[in-house]
Amino acid sequence: MKYQRPRGTADILPGEVEKWQFVENTAREIFKKYQFKEIRTPMFEHYEVIARSVGDTTDIVSKEMYDFYDKGDRHITLRPEGTAPVVRAFVENKLYGPEFPKPYKAYYIGPMFRYERPKAGRLRQFHQLGVEVFGGENPATDVEVMLLALDFYTSLGIKELKLVINSLGDKESRQKYRQGLIDYLTPHYDELSQDSKNRFEKNPLRILDSKDRQDKIIVANAPSILDFLSEKSQNHFDTVKALLDYSGVSFEIDHRMVRGLDYYNDTIFEIMSEAKVFGERVALGGGGRYSGLVEEIGGPETPGVGFGLGFERTLLAIEAEGDTLPLEDSIDVYIVGLGEATNLDSFKLVQAIRHAGFSADRDYMNRGAKAQFKTANRLKAKVVVTIGTEEIEQQVARVKNMASSKEEIVPWTDIYQDFASIYQKITN
Ligand code: AMP
């Protein structure tokens, strides 16, 4: 029997994982600049937490949840996204209290789970990083969150980006728009897909997000939400646009964009890539403002804004643009031990060199000199330390700079006392 990983999952192997670490480190540096602190929530949540926040009529909740009843008959789901869990943690831990900073800024990095049809850049276990800003309605936070995401991509060398924004308005704007949309869609009702018919009464805005071809044609001429914005929402959106202009960032407005989650209002945005690997224009990340969400989960009224972006798509975009990450893939020292008698001293030397602060490895297979040097080259070792029976007798080692072939004979006592100086000398 051959076991395979479940469909839509990936093993991230050594060689590949270094790229992930690089992307993650880049993100952490940028989060630090913008003063976001990390939050780690469980990988599974009560189903209700997600269903209430993300929305019952969304694809995520209605089709894509990895939910199950646990042995205590609790309805549990693997988290499909990061915002709802962070909001739950914000409320449960009373992070809105007076002792916490305002706005409260948190970021997360980790796996998310959606039962989707896998393809390039779409998996069932994928990885997101995201930020949330709780408290405050200042449109500057909306824009800072967008700029943070853009900074992240550009510092990874991704340039073919498009920032697309829209406003979903506040409750009042959406109620008016909802009616406008229903009026427009009613004569087309029979032509709509079954999914869209189901959403017609409950949540007609979701029809704008339909992937069905016929739905898309119908929706193309639907009224624009931007014509229904309340004065407050209009002002908010105008300020967002002005701040983006002020930052010199180009953007598009797509009045039909609604995004796949129900909790947004006012500003929403996506950062798209037109890289060919994806076959079509694809969202690398997206986010927006949410106002009722903290209350929905049982907290005090707290506006929020955030985004989530996918690791897998980020890595594909880096590759698509032909960029290579500056990854460190060499080691400082490789110990070549010739003959079984060297085992104990190889052991002592490699440990001493590691403790002196260097990355080091050794042979464990009692291979010949040629094979061991080959390994040292494959590992891109900068320095090789060789011992054989003769060296054991004299308590010395041959220390060789692999690039210049310069070699010195060094007493073990020197290595144990101050390997850093020896390394410095041989590599300079
Ligand atoms: P969303 O939470 O749907 O707004 O997604 C935010 C970002 O997460 C997307 O722009 C993608 O980069 C990424 N993403 C969402 N779903 C998947 C998936 N199934 N596989 C890989 N990445 C995903």
pLDDT for residue 41: 98
- Higher-pLDDT residue of 277, 219: 219
Computed over every residue of the chain, the mean pLDDT equals: 94
Do 37 and 22 share a structural domain?
yes
For residue 209, pLDDT over 90 is answered with: no
CATH number at residue 344: 3.40.50.800
Do 381 and 234 share a structural domain?
no
Compute, in angstroms, the gap from residue 169 CA to the centroid of ligand 1: 23
pLDDT tens track for 3-56: 999 999 999 999 999 999 999 999 999 999 999 999 999 999 999 999 999 988
* 328 part of a folded domain: no
Do 33 and 74 share a structural domain?
yes
3-state SS record for 17-73: HHHHHHHHHHHHHHHHHCCCEECCCCCEEEHHHHHHHHCCCCHHHHHCCCEEECCCC
Residue 351's domain spans which residues?
333-427
Do 153 and 28 share a structural domain?
yes
* 1 part of a folded domain: no
DSSP for residue 132: E
Do 166 and 85 share a structural domain?
yes
pLDDT for residue 343: 97
Say if residue 264 carries a ligand binding annotation.
Answer: yes
Instruction: Please answer whether residues 305 and 320 qualify as being in contact, where contact means their C-beta atoms are separated by less than 8 angstroms.
Output: no
Could you say which of 296, 320, 344 is where a domain stops? 320
- Higher-pLDDT residue of 55, 346: 346
* 9 part of a folded domain: no
Say if residue 263 carries a ligand binding annotation.
Answer: yes
Burial of 63 (0-12, 13-18, 19+ CB in 10 A): exposed
* 29 part of a folded domain: yes
For the whole model, what pTM was predicted?
A: 0.90
- The CB of 311 under 6 Å from ligand 1? The reply is no
- Cis amide bond preceding 303, omega within 30: no
For residue 222, pLDDT over 90 is answered with: yes
Ligand 1 atom nearest the C-alpha of 82 is: 2
- Higher-pLDDT residue of 351, 325: 351
- The CB of 168 under 6 Å from ligand 1? The reply is no
The pLDDT confidence band at residue 329, using thresholds 50, 70 and 90, is confident
For residue 389, pLDDT over 90 is answered with: yes
For residue 1, pLDDT over 90 is answered with: no
pLDDT tens track for 78-115: 999 999 999 999 999 999 999 999 999 999 999 999 99
pLDDT tens track for 142-152: 999 999 999 99
Compute, in angstroms, the gap from residue 269 CA to the centroid of ligand 1: 13
- The CB of 312 under 6 Å from ligand 1? The reply is yes
pLDDT tens track for 245-280: 999 999 999 999 988 777 889 999 999 998 877 888
Could you say which of 297, 320, 343 is where a domain stops? 320
Say if residue 81 carries a ligand binding annotation.
Answer: yes
* 7 part of a folded domain: no
Q: By percentage, how much of the chain surpasses pLDDT 70?
A: 100
- The CB of 313 under 6 Å from ligand 1? The reply is yes
Compute, in angstroms, the gap from residue 153 CA to the centroid of ligand 1: 15
pLDDT tens track for 287-310: 999 988 999 999 999 999 999 999
Say if residue 132 carries a ligand binding annotation.
Answer: yes
Compute, in angstroms, the gap from residue 115 CA to the centroid of ligand 1: 12
Do 72 and 30 share a structural domain?
yes
- The CB of 66 under 6 Å from ligand 1? The reply is no
CA neighbours within 13 Å on the CB side: how many for 164?
19
Do 316 and 339 share a structural domain?
no
Do 46 and 155 share a structural domain?
yes
Q: How far is CA 366 from CA 13, 59, 207, 353, 371, in A?
A: 27, 58, 67, 20, 10
Identify the bridge partners of residue 269 per DSSP, sorted by sequence position: 165, 287
For residue 180, pLDDT over 80 is answered with: yes
The CA-to-CA distance between both ends of the chain, in Å, stands at 54
Do 158 and 87 share a structural domain?
yes
Say if residue 64 carries a ligand binding annotation.
Answer: no
Compute, in angstroms, the gap from residue 309 CA to the centroid of ligand 1: 6
DSSP for residue 283: E
The pLDDT confidence band at residue 414, using thresholds 50, 70 and 90, is very high
Do 165 and 184 share a structural domain?
no
pLDDT for residue 274: 83
* 10 part of a folded domain: no
Compute, in angstroms, the gap from residue 75 CA to the centroid of ligand 1: 24
- Higher-pLDDT residue of 420, 136: 420
- The CB of 310 under 6 Å from ligand 1? The reply is yes
Compute, in angstroms, the gap from residue 121 CA to the centroid of ligand 1: 8
pLDDT for residue 280: 83
Query: Among 391, 390, 385, which residue's Cα sits nearest to residue 331?
Result: 385
Among protein residues, the one whose CA lies closest to atom 9 of ligand 1? 285
- The CB of 288 under 6 Å from ligand 1? The reply is no
pLDDT for residue 247: 97
Do 361 and 402 share a structural domain?
yes
- The CB of 126 under 6 Å from ligand 1? The reply is yes
Could you say which of 209, 227, 245 is where a domain stops? 227
Instruction: Please answer whether residues 123 and 280 qualify as being in contact, where contact means their C-beta atoms are separated by less than 8 angstroms.
Output: no
**Distance separating alpha carbons of residues 401 and 411, to the nearest angstrom:** 17
How many domains is the chain built from? 3
Q: To test the ligand 1 pocket, which listed residue (53, 122, 289) has its Cβ within 8 A of the most ligand atoms? A: 122
For residue 72, pLDDT over 90 is answered with: yes
The structure tokens listed for 69 are 């009843």
pLDDT for residue 112: 98
Do 316 and 406 share a structural domain?
no
pLDDT for residue 292: 87
* 325 part of a folded domain: no
- The CB of 308 under 6 Å from ligand 1? The reply is yes
